[in-house]
Amino acid sequence: SYTILYLLFFPFAFLKITELANKIYTDVEPAVWEAVKLESVHPGRTRYLVVVSRPGRQLTEESCLLGIDCNHATTVGLVLKVLADTAITLDGDGGFSVSVCGRQHIFKPVSVQAMW
């Protein structure tokens, strides 16, 4: 599997997220994973936004956004499939929002450099 996961903070979380990802994607198709640590309003909660892309049917690409919480246990708190109507908007202070199917989700990385 060609799994690429970028974690700039807390390298131990790589093992937890990889273990969880293997449970989610058990097929043999190559997947690209990119993650960024997010700010959290809850103290002691570590959150990541993970972008997963893989080859789809008829030479297309399928993508989704996963919200991963890493605390005592690693859990998936959000799954958003990237659809044709998905819109991404930058908010000027390093954060961004993702709108899909009429719902808006706001994300704020711990640093802008973490996204590059």
5 within a domain of the structure (yes/no): no
How far is Cα 44 from Cα 113, in angstroms, rounded to an integer?
Answer: 22
CA-based Rg of the chain, rounded to a whole angstrom?
14
Q: Residue 81 is part of which domain span?
A: 12-115
Q: Give per-residue pLDDT as tens, 41-86.
A: 888 888 999 988 888 777 788 889 999 988 888 888 899 999 888 9
85 within a domain of the structure (yes/no): yes
Q: Sign of dihedral through CA atoms 111, 47, 21, 51?
A: negative
7 within a domain of the structure (yes/no): no
Q: Give per-residue pLDDT as tens, 1-35.
A: 233 333 334 444 555 556 666 655 555 565 777 88
CATH number at residue 74: 2.30.29
86 within a domain of the structure (yes/no): yes
Tell me the whole-structure pTM to 2 decimals: 0.68
| Total count of domains within the chain | 1
Using CA atoms of 41, 42, 46, 47 in order, give the dihedral in degrees to the nearest 10.
-50
